[in-house]
Amino acid sequence: MVAAADAGAGASHRRIRTELRERMRRQGATGRQIAEAMMAEFRVSPLLAYRWAAVRRDLPDLQQPPAGGGGGLQPSRRAGYPS
C-alpha cells in the first residue's frame, strides 16, 4: 500500500518538475535559471537540479540501435578479417 502511494507521489513530482521546466523554457529561461528554481522549489542538491533542468525530450533514445545496423563500419584487413 505504501509503495503505491510513493509511486503516485513520484509521478506527481515528475509532472510538476516537467511543467516547471517547460513553462520556464517557454519564457526563455536558461538551464541555470531552471536549475536554481528547482533547487529552491524541491530543496535538492545543485547536481540533481541541473540533471532535472537538462532533460531534453527532443533527443533520440540512446538505448535504441542506430538505423541501418552497425553504421556502415567494416572490419579492417589489418585485423586479419577476410573481406
Q: Is 75 contained in some domain?
A: no
Q: Is 49 contained in some domain?
A: yes
Number of domains in the chain: 1
Task: Tell me the residue range of the domain where 41 lies.
Answer: 2-57
Q: Is 52 contained in some domain?
A: yes
Tell me the pLDDT tens digit for each residue of 28-47: 998 899 999 999 999 999 99
The number of CA neighbours under 13 Å toward the Cβ of 27 is: 10
Give the pLDDT confidence score for residue 2 in this predicted structure: 43
Segment 36-42 long-range contacts (CB within 8 Å, at least 24 positions apart): 42/13, 42/17
Give the pLDDT confidence score for residue 78 in this predicted structure: 64
Residue 25 neighbours by CB under 8 Å, 6+ apart: 34
Separation in Å, CA 18 to CA 5, 8, 54, 66, 73: 20, 15, 11, 28, 38
Q: Which of 40, 43, 6, 45 is CA-nearest to residue 24?
A: 40
Q: Is 34 contained in some domain?
A: yes
Q: Is 16 contained in some domain?
A: yes
Q: Is 19 contained in some domain?
A: yes
Give the pLDDT confidence score for residue 14 in this predicted structure: 87
Give the pLDDT confidence score for residue 63 in this predicted structure: 54
Q: Is 83 contained in some domain?
A: no
Q: Is 69 contained in some domain?
A: no
pLDDT per position in the chain (83 positions), as tens? 344 444 556 678 889 999 999 999 999 998 899 999 999 999 999 999 999 998 765 555 555 555 555 555 666 666 665 65
